[in-house]
Amino acid sequence: MFWQRAWYRHGVDFRLWLLLPLHWVFCGLSAVRRWLYRIGLLAVYRAPVPVIVVGNISVGGTGKTPVTEAFIQWLISQGLQPAIISRGYGGRGPFPQLVTATSSATAVGDEPKLLASRTQVPLVVGANRQQAIALLLKQHPEVSVIVSDDGLQHYALARDIEVVVVDGQRGFGNGWRLPLGPLREPLSRLQHVDFIVQNGESASPKLASAQQPFWRFDLRPDGWRRVNQAQGTQTEPVTLEPGDYAAVAGIGNPQRFFDTVAATLAAEATIRVVETKAFADHHPFSAADFAQFNALTGVLMTEKDAAKCQSFAPDHWYYLPVSAQFETEFWQQFANQLQTKQKLHESARSTYGG
């Protein structure tokens, strides 16, 4: 938590300068690793179907998971049969593993479980993307396009389209790379991706100065649901009971959730958020984490956190699903790019008899 607060302050916290040697080591190793992939000394796997990578160049929450869901829903609307691969961060495995709505978040990770519940498409988790894709296509040979949830820096996997998600609220922090700042890759990486999509309005002059075109999207709340009920789009919104609530979040940018809750409940005079509590991203929630809120009417949380709390949540805990909304023009541009990549794959299959 200290690191993220320091990264997103104006300028570089003087205590971070102690990490300057590690910063140069990180930058050097990253550059060498990418160069080895570029010249072919490290092997790159290319899937037999188009691969779309949805990732980011910074650490922390940017809205990547709802963007991944939006891409899946759009692909379905176009008559395609998409699937998802994910590292399964925070999950204990075994890997690779096929994820369903009934999978344990402890085993597969909170974000994959959420995506499986929301999209109902095939999803496999595993740090080795080639193994994940092999299992995915073995179990679901009908899949025609794969969306990789994260993996922008996983250069062992060839990708057809790269989509970078940027947090418009926090931007790129102090603009430095790890561990001095939140960047996994330099800002110049944005010049080589296919699409940059930004969560909300821009607060980052660095993105504007990069002179790279980008598309905005909004995260729209979709009504409160009970945590102890099955997650997914099939559940119906419920009305919160009047009283005092705590809002908790174990995500990369908890303040965004707290702001969303405040805006959503602004007109509800009988419902008050009297306490907010931020946990570390991917925090492994247990019932003990909520004992301090027992005197309150209930608890409000994100959908990602709810995936880990469903088994022990009482009726007065609620989560707020959100969906990413893009302009029609964005989807038109994306469709053109995807069609080009599909033709290349079809040409390769006809040439090599795949």
Binding residues for ATP: 58-65
Confidence of residue 214 (pLDDT cuts 50, 70, 90): confident
Does the pLDDT value for residue 141 go beyond 90?
yes
Does the pLDDT value for residue 203 go beyond 60?
no
Considering only residues 234 and 138, tell me which one the structure prediction assigns the higher pLDDT: 138
**Average pLDDT taken over every residue of the chain:** 91
Rounded mean pLDDT, 185-189: 93
In the chain, the percentage of residues whose pLDDT exceeds 90 is 74
pTM: 0.92
Binding residues: 58-65
Rounded mean pLDDT, 306-334: 95
Does the pLDDT value for residue 21 go beyond 80?
yes
Q: Which of 161, 185, 191, 170 is nearest to 63 (CA)?
A: 170
Q: 285 with 319: CB under 8 angstroms?
A: no
What's 15's DSSP letter?
A: G
Instruction: Give the torsion sign (CA, 241, 245, 246, 247).
Output: positive
Does the pLDDT value for residue 280 go beyond 70?
yes
Does the pLDDT value for residue 208 go beyond 80?
no
Confidence of residue 6 (pLDDT cuts 50, 70, 90): confident
Does the pLDDT value for residue 233 go beyond 60?
no
How many Å apart are CA 44 and CA 41, to the nearest integer? 9
* Cis-peptide into 179, omega within 30 deg: yes
pLDDT in tens, 237-273: 999 999 999 999 999 889 999 999 999 999 999 999 9
Rounded mean pLDDT, 46-51: 96
Confidence of residue 231 (pLDDT cuts 50, 70, 90): low
How many Å apart are CA 235 and CA 85, to the nearest integer? 25
Task: Report the 3 state secondary structure along 140-177.
Answer: CCCCCEEEEECCCCCCCECCCEEEEEEECCCCCCCCCE
Does the pLDDT value for residue 22 go beyond 60?
yes
Confidence of residue 331 (pLDDT cuts 50, 70, 90): very high
How many Å apart are CA 173 and CA 170, to the nearest integer? 6
HSE-CB of 91 using CA atoms within 13 angstroms = 27
Q: Which of 186, 259, 143 is nearest to 31 (CA)?
A: 186
CB atoms within 10 A of CB 313: 22
pLDDT at 133: 98
Does the pLDDT value for residue 202 go beyond 70?
no
pLDDT in tens, 53-104: 999 999 877 889 999 999 999 999 999 999 999 999 889 999 999 998 789 9
